[in-house]
Structure 1
Amino acid sequence: MPSPAPSAKKPPVQEAAPAPATNANAPAASGAAAAPSTPSAARTAGRGGLAIAFAKVSFIVFGFAQQLLLEGLLGQAGYGQISRVLAIVGVLNNVVVATAIQGVSRAVSTAPEGHVDAAFARTLRVHVALAVVLSLGFALAAGTIATAVGAPHVATPLRLVAAVVLLYGVYAPLVGSLNGRRRFLDQAGLDVGYGLLRTVGMGAGAFVLLRLGGSGTLGAAMGFVTAAALIVPIALTRSGVGHAGAGGPSARDYLGFLGPLALGQIALNLLLQTDFLLLSRFAGQEAGRLGLAASASDDLLGIYRGVQLFSFLPYQLLMSVSFVLFPMLARARAERSEPLVAEYTRAGVRIALVVTGAVAGTIAALAPHVLRFAYKSSAIWEHGGPVLRVLAIGMGSFAILGISSAALTGLGRERASAAFNALAVCLVALGCVVVTPRLPFGPTMLLGTAISTSIALGLVCVVAAIALRREAGAFVAPLSLVRVFVAAGVTVAVGMRMPWLGKLAVLVEAHVMGALYLAVLVVTGEIGKKDLSLVLKVLGKPERAGDRVRRT
């Protein structure tokens, strides 16, 4: 299972697993931050975030391997089919996971000594009951959902993965208890282990059923269920189930806490999938109107999912920043230290901006080459290259929106954070509804969807940045914005002229683009010695006295 993170989840790499983009780690982080505000406390928060971030990076790697493996086994149309299944169930799974981890972690971390196991047992019962209801409801509604997204042919695998909703509903609170107890190594181990199980399970399932003459999509879904079934007993050996007793919130109070949290997560996860699901609906409808086979729209969805896989990278990689930023902001606000709030906000957003520019700029610069490097189908890189250029920049805005939302949540403005996610959902949906169905069936639909989605995310990113600036008294220096935009622009302009020299050359070109981006930032004065000091502080390494004197 991916590591929880403030603000947002789950991108395509992870839609097949519990949500990464959530506020799930917030309770533990807040609990950890409750210690006296000292340099060691900041280092503890940073190290805890880095430990889970390491597991998250591992999970991203497994997720990439899974996506590329499935495309190679199933082909472009089959990849589009399984992507539809994972996108649909991922919305519900991510909400289940995010609310369970955050809710149980909060209950466990705030329980008085001696009542932790009772609090865990009580909240676990609530989540198991919810998992049964949601899993059954999803299975019953699978046919209706499949038809609504223009893909009635995926109803059977959708019914099958309803079992994953049940299994995640049990697994996530187990992980939440580890998070609340700050057993980050156990949590990270489960994340890495599940990432491996899921990748192997889905690949093996698809391969076996294809060899038997069956549906590779159904086989991948069976592998997904199998992996989730295996990780639950493994997690039980690490977390236990607690024990009955007086401790923890009542079921009514606990559900009252989960309700608003779930609404925010629903908005967030719909945001991650709105463009894909609406494209699925409109492409499926248009294919039917033209008398084409269902596989025609599957082909288009396979291209768009391939594009999304890379465009979500900036957001996924920025979650480690959230792990560090969230608890530090929460503690600074609790201590009414507004100068520290402004300092942490400015530093955190600046790091996020620099990282986003590097990743999104490099991907946009080499978009067709990146897709050609990764995918077997030539249609994905031929038609997906221009789409990825646009969506990489749009998802860069989404990454900054995620950091802004995490910061607002850390400052006690959860409702504002959720409101921005809801606004983004509405704007993305509006853009797709207005643009996509008016375009001719084919790659043009993909590009139109990417453009409308990117514009919507950019607008909400600006609004959220203004809100964070007002709340924290800082955002990021305007000159830093200009420098990052210039560096990214130079990187994209140069990268667009890079020729195709083979797959191995793509790795070299990516490093060259990243080096070019950093070089522009160094030349313009955006990156310097202060940045090294910040990295050393987070890692807990002492600065030399001379460094402190010079900075003073």
Structure 2
Amino acid sequence: MATPSTQARGLGTGGISIGFAKLFFLFAGYAVSIYLTQLVSPATYGDYNVLSQFITVPNMVLIQTLLFAVSRPMSAEYGVGCPNYDALRRRGFRVAAGFGGLVAAVLFLGADLIAGRFMQDPALADPLRIVAPIPLIYAVYAVNVGTVNATRRFQLQASLDIFMAATKAGLIIAAAALGLGLTFILGGFTLASLLAFGLSIVFVTLARPAGAGAGAGPLPPMASFAIVLALFTAGVNVLQGFDLFLLKRHAITAAQDDALGFYSSAQLIARVPYSLMNAVSLVMFPLIATLHAGRDHAEISRYVGATARVCVLLLAFMSSVGASAAPEVQRLLFPAAYASAADELRLLVWGMSGYSLTITAAWIFNSVQRTRVAVALIAVPLITVAGLGLALVPGRFTAGAAIAVASAGALAGLVSLLALTRSFAARVPLLFFLKVAAAAVCVELAARAWMPAGKLMILVKLAALALVFIAVVVATKALNLVEVRALRKRPAGEAQPGANAP
């Protein structure tokens, strides 16, 4: 049986493992983007990003809904050995087969209608059909990922992320290098999802707790939680791609198709903060769910307050560096023509950071079964970006989309922080925000002092800007390192797995 100290180390290293996996996923995504900009036209690259984000909406609705719908009740039983382990998994697979199969069928059979009516481009029907099976694959895959998440096998979960990212990147780049066209390029995504599902079957076998049972009692309700959670995840993923969908509908000329490609490269960079913060959500969800099951409100308040401060600090760090050096970042990663999206990147990176903070806060509410609050939080930026986007994109195109995202992210971040502090009595002092703002201002001033030309010097500048932010944070003592270390500790009162198992 694991000792408390061993389990504490597992939680800490698990968070690091998932964080590394998300970072790897980002690097793999950048590798795809960088190579595709060299191998296909800007218009094809834009279509690739639009379709990737479009299929991401149902994919992530299914994988996140099923992952957390399985993980949450199983996490609540973790301290007593998961007596309903097999029953929860069986129920998850039934839901996955039903909803995943339905979504896959709709996408495959409705590809012509979606491409022609919604995207205003009938040529995208065949590429859409090739990715149509992915929702079904992802749905059953999510049950396995939710299982390893609930049983605290974060290293295995991270390994699945890394394997998926590596195979997806390799297959997509290979198809593009062979000149196979957009349909086969996206087919690499479908094949990678099948391979990852196969590996998840192996990993879930390894993650089975020693005392797991086939079903010792009544199962906690899943349907109502899953439905609201599906609505939430749909909102999250529509939010992240709404600007691309809107731009695609308004792209009439060849120049606008190219501009959409340039913009999508900036949006990819701007999503870095969200992708990295997703690791925080994946680790915090089972921990807070366990504390909530034990009614440890004081410990939840401490965890939420510390998590909010860490998230704000990390988001400000990444956003200030990315925004202040936006032209250099675009030139570093993409062909010269893509630097035209630098102004959009300045706005997008801050807007997406606001989205990220909101989504992290929403997952905290999900973990304590307050999913309706989570949905309300996501509705704030979604309604805002939709209203502003519809007003600004027709006249200002990519600039209008970036302004809409930045405004929606700023409002959403403020609302989410207020929700956390009021609902959980989380402590986030005003002085902390002033210190973080001072660090961001110093980074912006430092960035304007030097405009390097070569890629090596750009890397040096980015490193220097990062050091400026860190130096100001350290000098002002913006964050207490003791609190950060405390996040790695086993929640007080959490029983050991199997300790009370029959």
TM-score, normalised to structure 1's length? 0.80
- 2:414 is equivalent to residue 414 of structure 1: no
Distance in 2 (CA, whole Å) between partners of 1:331 and 1:348 is 16
Change (3 A) 1:410 1:177: closer
- 2:100 is equivalent to residue 131 of structure 1: yes
Quick one: higher RCO (CA 8 Å, sep 6+), 1 or 2?
A: 2
Query: Once structures 1 and 2 are overlaid, which stretch shifts more, 445-454 or 57-66?
Result: 57-66
Residue in structure 2 matching 1:430, options 369, 387, 406: 387
Deviations 1:158-184 (A, max 9, x none): 111102222222322222233233333
Deviations 1:138-195 (A, max 9, x none): 1122222223133332121011110222222232222223323333333222221111
Deviations 1:273-304 (A, max 9, x none): 11111111122xxx1xxxx34xx443122111
Deviations 1:358-385 (A, max 9, x none): 1100000110110100012x2211x111
- 2:229 is equivalent to residue 264 of structure 1: no
Query: Once structures 1 and 2 are overlaid, which stretch shifts more, 384-393 or 38-47?
Result: 38-47
- 2:59 is equivalent to residue 93 of structure 1: yes
Counterparts of 1:3-152 in structure 2 under 5 Å?
A: 44-106=10-72, 108-109=74-75, 115-146=84-115, 147-152=117-122
Deviations 1:387-426 (A, max 9, x none): 1111112122222222322333344432111111022211
1:129 Cα deviation after fit: 2.8
1:55 Cα deviation after fit: 2.0
Answer whether contact 2:355 2:381 (CA < 8 A) is retained.
no
Change (3 A) 1:493 1:258: same
Answer whether contact 2:352 2:406 (CA < 8 A) is retained.
yes
Change (3 A) 1:419 1:248: farther
Distance in 2 (CA, whole Å) between partners of 1:196 and 1:173 is 21
Distance in 1 (CA, whole Å) between partners of 2:270 and 2:147 is 32
- 2:301 is equivalent to residue 349 of structure 1: no
Change (3 A) 1:233 1:247: farther
Answer whether contact 1:206 1:223 (CA < 8 A) is retained.
no
What is aligned with 1:5? none
Counterparts of 1:126-525 in structure 2 under 5 Å?
A: 126-146=95-115, 147-208=117-178, 210=179, 214-215=180-181, 217-239=182-204, 254-283=222-251, 287=252, 292-293=253-254, 296-332=255-291, 335-376=294-335, 378-381=336-339, 383-439=340-396, 445-525=397-477
Change (3 A) 1:172 1:315: same
What is aligned with 1:16? none
Q: CA RMSD in A?
A: 2.9
Query: Gaps (5+ residues) in structure 2?
Result: 491-502
Change (3 A) 1:124 1:240: farther
2:428 counterpart SS class: coil
Distance in 1 (CA, whole Å) between partners of 2:486 and 2:402 is 39
2:132 counterpart SS class: helix
1:306 Cα deviation after fit: 0.5
Distance in 2 (CA, whole Å) between partners of 1:395 and 1:123 is 32
1:239 Cα deviation after fit: 2.9
Distance in 1 (CA, whole Å) between partners of 2:344 and 2:217 is 49
Answer whether contact 2:326 2:342 (CA < 8 A) is retained.
yes
Share of identical aligned residues, percent?
Answer: 30
Change (3 A) 1:129 1:77: same
Change (3 A) 1:342 1:113: closer
Answer whether contact 2:350 2:409 (CA < 8 A) is retained.
no
Answer whether contact 2:63 2:138 (CA < 8 A) is retained.
yes
Distance in 1 (CA, whole Å) between partners of 2:193 and 2:110 is 21
1:521 Cα deviation after fit: 2.2
Distance in 2 (CA, whole Å) between partners of 1:119 and 1:410 is 17
The number of aligned residues is 481
Change (3 A) 1:411 1:255: closer
Deviations 1:456-486 (A, max 9, x none): 2211221222122211223411111111112
Answer whether contact 1:361 1:491 (CA < 8 A) is retained.
yes
Distance in 1 (CA, whole Å) between partners of 2:5 and 2:213 is 39
Answer whether contact 1:488 1:517 (CA < 8 A) is retained.
yes
Distance in 1 (CA, whole Å) between partners of 2:128 and 2:217 is 35
2:478 counterpart SS class: coil
Distance in 1 (CA, whole Å) between partners of 2:461 and 2:364 is 34
Distance in 2 (CA, whole Å) between partners of 1:231 and 1:470 is 41
Deviations 1:211-257 (A, max 9, x none): xxx52x1221121122222222232233369999767878x954333
Distance in 1 (CA, whole Å) between partners of 2:365 and 2:222 is 23
What is aligned with 1:546? none
2:120 counterpart SS class: coil
1:503 Cα deviation after fit: 0.7
Answer whether contact 2:354 2:410 (CA < 8 A) is retained.
yes
Answer whether contact 1:367 1:388 (CA < 8 A) is retained.
yes
Distance in 2 (CA, whole Å) between partners of 1:275 and 1:329 is 33
Answer whether contact 1:122 1:244 (CA < 8 A) is retained.
no
1:318 counterpart SS class: helix
What is aligned with 2:500? none
Distance in 2 (CA, whole Å) between partners of 1:303 and 1:233 is 36
Change (3 A) 1:333 1:176: closer
Answer whether contact 1:303 1:380 (CA < 8 A) is retained.
yes
Change (3 A) 1:279 1:327: same
2:307 counterpart SS class: helix
Distance in 2 (CA, whole Å) between partners of 1:329 and 1:253 is 19
1:459 counterpart SS class: helix
Distance in 2 (CA, whole Å) between partners of 1:244 and 1:340 is 29
Distance in 1 (CA, whole Å) between partners of 2:87 and 2:221 is 15
Change (3 A) 1:248 1:232: farther
Change (3 A) 1:238 1:522: closer
Change (3 A) 1:324 1:115: closer
TM-score, normalised to structure 2's length? 0.87
What is aligned with 2:493? none
Amino acid at match of 2:348: L
Answer whether contact 2:75 2:289 (CA < 8 A) is retained.
no
Change (3 A) 1:356 1:502: same
Distance in 2 (CA, whole Å) between partners of 1:107 and 1:469 is 26
Query: Gaps (5+ residues) in structure 1?
Result: 1-34, 440-444, 542-552
Distance in 2 (CA, whole Å) between partners of 1:96 and 1:248 is 27
Distance in 1 (CA, whole Å) between partners of 2:76 and 2:421 is 31
Change (3 A) 1:393 1:118: closer
